[in-house]
Structure formats: C-alpha cells, structure tokens
Chains A and B, each alone.
Chain A
Amino acid sequence: MIDYFKKNVDFLSRITILLIIVAGMSVINPPAFLNWNNLSTVMFQQAPFTILMSFGMTMAIITKGIDKSMASIVVLASMLSGSYFKNGNLAMGFLIALAVGAAAGLLNGTLITRVGVAPFIATYGTDFIALGLAYVVCAGRYIYDFPANFRVITNGCFIPSVPNIALVTMIIFILLWFLTRKTIFGRSMYLAGFNVDATILSGIDAKKVVTVVYTINGLLAALVGVLYMARLNAADPNISGNLCLDSIAASLIGGTSFGGGKGSVSNAVIGALIIVFIRNGMNIMNISTNWQQAVVGFVIIFSVFYEMAIGRLTKKRMG
C-alpha cells in the first residue's frame, strides 16, 4: 500500500490538486457549485470536450512534441462535414470529418518526422491553414439546426442519465489507455519521447510511431468537431476558442512532462477536470471571462514549477 503511494506520488498529488479545487469551490459558494445541475453540466457537457482534446495533446507531448493544430482541425472537420449531417447523411459526414482529421494529422506527422520541422512550427502552420480554409468553406454562412437523429450523438442517453458524449469519452479513454499502456506501439511512443535516438538505434521505426500519434490526434480532433457540432447545434468557425490553450494547460497540470516520455491519458483526464473546474469556479464567482485566459496561462507556468518541485522531491527519495 505504502509502496503504491510512493510509486504514484506524482499522479496522486494531481488528484489532490483537483480535490482541493473542488473543495474550495464547495466552500466558497455551495449553493451555486454543489448542485446536481451545475456538476452534471460540468462533468457531462463541458469536460468531455476538454478531456478528448487533452488525450491528443498529451500523446503529442509524450513524444516530446506539441499539437497546436487540433483546435483548428476541429473547426475545419465540422465545417466540411456540417452540410452532410444537416441533410441526414450521417455516414458520409463522419467519413469526411475523419478523413479531414487524418489528412491534417498525417501532414503534421510528415512535416515533423520526415522534413524535420519543429513540432510547434509545423502544427502552427497547419493551424493557420486549417483555420483559414475553415473560414473559406464557411464564407459567412453558418450551418445550424441539425436533425434530431444527429444531435442524439451528443445529447441522447444510451445508458439512462449518462449522456452519450460521456459514454463516447469513456470508450475513447479505454481504447487509448489500452493502446498506450498495453501495446508495443504505446511502449515505442513513450520511448520515442524519452530518447528518440536510442529508440531508432534499438530498431523501432520512431518516425512512423510519431506520425501515427499525430494522425490519431487529427482523428480525435475530427471526432470532437462532430460531437461539438451536435452539442452546439451549429457549425461555426469561431468555436475553436479556448480548446488549444485548455488542452495544453490540462496536459501539463495533469502531470505530462514537456520533456517527453512521461504522462498518460489518465493524467489528461485529471488535468482536464482541473481546468474545467477552474473555469466553472470562476464563472460561479462572477469573475469576468476576460480573466480566464490569463488564469489558464498562469496554470501552465504553475504546472512547470510544480513539475520541477515534484521531480526534485522524487529524485531525493531515489538517491
């Protein structure tokens, strides 16, 4: 038992941060925060999107990269597939959204691994182009008012009182957890982030692994695009807003190290919940939304310091 605590001191401390934030909110304003309406909205309606985005961002950061383009892929995928969903052609819509995501992810992966562009710049470029294309496709006409059989994807309840979006997030979590923790691919991914030269020298095709990671990110982003569209009942190029910043902050505060090779999708869940609850808490305390972006920025700085402190602590233990 104590061994378990010692081994997982980092992960457990992140859960403690989450609990402290939740407890703090409960003390500051119990009637507004601690009611089922607020909690279920946060957990089942807002958090899933941040969690899904953070999965991708976390995997990119584990490979010692970053994926700045995900938010724009969300927008582009939803803009391009919107009209098909609107006409009730769900299969075609999904196909197009996922194809867009895969293509953008593949572009990122190729630029990073084959050409050798720094991940931040490569994905920044994709971000710029994808968002630009989304505005071109949109051309000022928003698609809204989707048929009910499409909106069910997010809002319906396949299992009573659990919205489908939460269910989808759960399934993706299990899939990604298995993929990253129990397969050769997952092992290679961590290794590639930890030491890419050693990975290549030990006969693993690190370039392929990283390319696949960015492609998965693209697919995740496309999925988020479809789900978001169903939730908002509109396809609008302005929705990308906070998704990128939030998912980076969530990954880092969740315990994924920017140095690569460390972190996991369960860390991403904790991190995303921390960010979502911070935003919810600020709304409840009537803090102007203008503050939120700055606060999330401070969370990134804080998590970097936290990472250093925890690293020093565990190193001392080992020594």
Chain B
Amino acid sequence: MSKVTGWLKKQNIPGIVYGSVLIFLFFSIIEKKFFTPYNVMLIARNSCILLTVSIGMTMAVLIGQVDLSVGSVMSVSAVMVKNGVPLAAALMAAFGAAALFGLVNGILIAVLKVDYWITTFATMSIGAGLALVISDGSTVPISSKFLDFLGNGKVCGVYFLIVLTIVLTVLILFLLKRSKLGYDVYSIGGSENVARLSGLDVNRTRMMVYLISSLIAALAGILITGMTNSASPIVGSEYSFNALAAVVIGGTSLNGGKGGVAGTVFGTVLLRIIASGLAMLGVPATWQKVIQGLIIVVIIVADVSSEKKKDVNGLRRIYAND
C-alpha cells in the first residue's frame, strides 16, 4: 500500500484528480444510473466543447493573464456558418474572424500594454454584439453532413468529437511541454521580467497565445454548431466563465507559470460530472447553476488562499536561513 501511495506522490498528480474520482464515486453510489457506459460516454461527449475552449484559456492563464473573449469568439464563428454559404468559405470566415479577435487582443495587451481584463472584456462584448448583428439575433438550423459528422458522428462506436478533442489536447500538451513556445509561455508566466531579461520575445509570445486561444475557441464554436445542428448567436455566452473556472479548478494558478492542460482536462470533467450528477438527482435547473457557482467560487478561494499560504511559508524559509 505504501508503495502505491509513494508512487502516486512521485507522479505529482494535482489534487483535482482525486476530487474528480471521489465525486464520481459519490454520484455512482447514490444514483444507480450514473455509472453506466451510456452516461460515461455522455459526460465525455459533453465535456468536449468546454475542454476545447478551456485549453485555449489555459494558455492565457499560464502567462498570468486571462482571455474573456473566448465565449464570444465561439458565438461569432458559430454564426458564420450559414445555409446558403459554401462550408469552406464559412469555415474560413469563422477562423479569419477569430484570428482577427486574437490579434486585436494580442496587440492591445502585449504591444499597447492595455489591462488584459478590460481588453478582453471589451472584445467579449464586441464579439457578443457582432454575433447578434451577423445572425440578426436568430438561431437558424444548419444542415451540413460534414458538421453533423464532426458533432454527432461515430468512429468505431466512439464519438468523433471525443477523438478530435483528445488529439487537440495531446497536441497542445506537447506544444506546451516540448516546444520553444511552451517553454516561453511557462517562463513568462513565472516571471515576466526574468523572461524579458533572458532575451525572450515576450510580446510575440503573448500575441501567439491570444491568437491560438481565439482560433481554438473558433473551433469550439464550429463543433458546437455541428453538435446542435444549429447556429446560435448566444451559444458561447456562458463559456468564458466556465472555461476560466475549469482552468482554475484544474490547478493552473492565476498568477501564471504553474499548471497545465492535464489539470484542465480534469477540471472540465469535474464540472461536467457535477452537472450530470445534479441533473440525475433531479435537482432543478435553477439550483444546479447556483450549486455549480458555489462550488466554483469555493475552489477558486481555496486555490488563492493555498497559494498565499505557500508564499508565506516560502518567506519564512528565507528568513529562517538568515
């Protein structure tokens, strides 16, 4: 037994993993229908869109900032898909618009040094507004075989959406852990000044992060269009906050430089397990939102105060050596 716990400790697994497993077990015990292949598949599938957005958000949080505009970029790219327009053109428009949002965020934040909260909040409202303008405020049904396959198709009994999300996750995981961009992201998040003094191009990395985060959000918007077979201008409105929550719950510190995509995967799944479990227990939809909000706030508070405690302990160690 001690061997097992020792091995677990060595792996440096974030506490969130244990949390997800515990809550999963909790729901499995009190609700028989919870731990069935069907429901597990459903949870995995429902996590995909949020996970996709959260991966982009993870990169923004890793450099010590936040990208609130992802939800609106989702909405904008979703409404680019229209029935009369050829799919290829629509997809190009969607990713083009997303790239524009990413560039605007990046230029304002990295080059012009505007506060990142207010920049991404402004682009969030602009995006939400533009999505309404483009779609004329209405949700339209979309009939596209390709998009339907992306959202609802199955490969060997597994949803293609899940496969796609896993591929994307692994890709970004490698990008962050094995590429120069990834190293730069972590070092900028750790200390911007040190990164700059060691000759990293901080501005360029920041802009890349916001660009990637926007493009991934556009992908999420297109996937959700395929999943629901409809293009809605308000589809992404709740994703900004939920993605931020998933990232923070996944152990990526808001101070930047610590955490990563692996934690975000569990953060997302945890949010979806809670949603699924509450729905199965017959909790009314309005209460579900409140309970989720409370859980998110409690976890964020715990994260911030544990970081603070670590800082204080760190100081103590320095002074003790004097």
Contacts and interface: CB of A to CB of B under 8 A. Distances in A.
A252 B118 contact: yes
A252 B14 CA distance: 40
B290 interface: yes
Interface string A284-319: 000010111111111011001000100000000000
A125 B296 contact: yes
A295 B117 contact: no
B125 A300 contact: yes
Nearest to A134: B286
Interface in B264-322: 284, 286-287, 289-290, 293-294, 296-297, 300-301, 304-305, 308
* Interface of B: prevailing SS: helix
B137 interface: yes
B114 interface: yes
Interface residues of A, number: 37
Contacts of A259: 115
Interface stretch (B1-9, B126-134, B194-202): B126-134
A85 interface: no
A135 B254 CA distance: 30
A290 B137 contact: yes
A248 B121 CA distance: 10
A121 B118 CA distance: 13
Interface in A248-305: 248, 252, 258-259, 288, 290-298, 300-301, 304
Contact of A132 (B122, B127, B286): B286
Nearest to B297: A125
Interface size class of B (residues with CB under 8 A): 35 or more
B251 to A, nearest CB: 15
Contact of B118 (A111, A115, A295, A300): A300
B136 A297 contact: no
B122 A290 contact: no
A23 interface: no
B133 A290 contact: yes
Contact of B293 (A118, A128, A294): A128
Given A66-B117, A136-B286, A290-B132, A117 B301 contact: yes
Interface in B210-257: 241, 244, 248, 254
Q: Which of B129, B241, B244, B284 is the most central at the interface, judged by chain A CB atoms within 10 Å of its CB?
A: B129
Given A135-B286, A248-B121, A300-B118, A129 B126 contact: no
Interface of B: 66, 108, 112, 114-115, 117-119, 121-130, 132-133, 136-137, 241, 244, 248, 254, 284, 286-287, 289-290, 293-294, 296-297, 300-301, 304-305, 308
Given A135-B286, A290-B133, A301-B108, 19 more contacts: A115-B304, A116-B305, A128-B241, A129-B290, A129-B297, A132-B289, A136-B284, A136-B287, A288-B133, A288-B136, A290-B137, A293-B129, A294-B128, A297-B127, A297-B128, A300-B118, A304-B118, A304-B119, A308-B112
Which 10 pairs of residues, A with B, have the shortest CB-CB distance? A294-B129, A293-B129, A297-B126, A297-B125, A132-B290, A300-B122, A290-B132, A125-B297, A128-B293, A132-B289
26 contacts: A115-B308, A116-B308, A120-B66, A124-B244, A128-B241, A135-B286, A139-B286, A248-B118, A248-B121, A252-B118, A258-B118, A293-B128, A294-B130, A294-B132, A294-B133, A295-B129, A296-B129, A297-B127, A300-B118, A300-B122, A301-B119, A301-B122, A301-B123, A304-B118, A304-B119, A308-B112
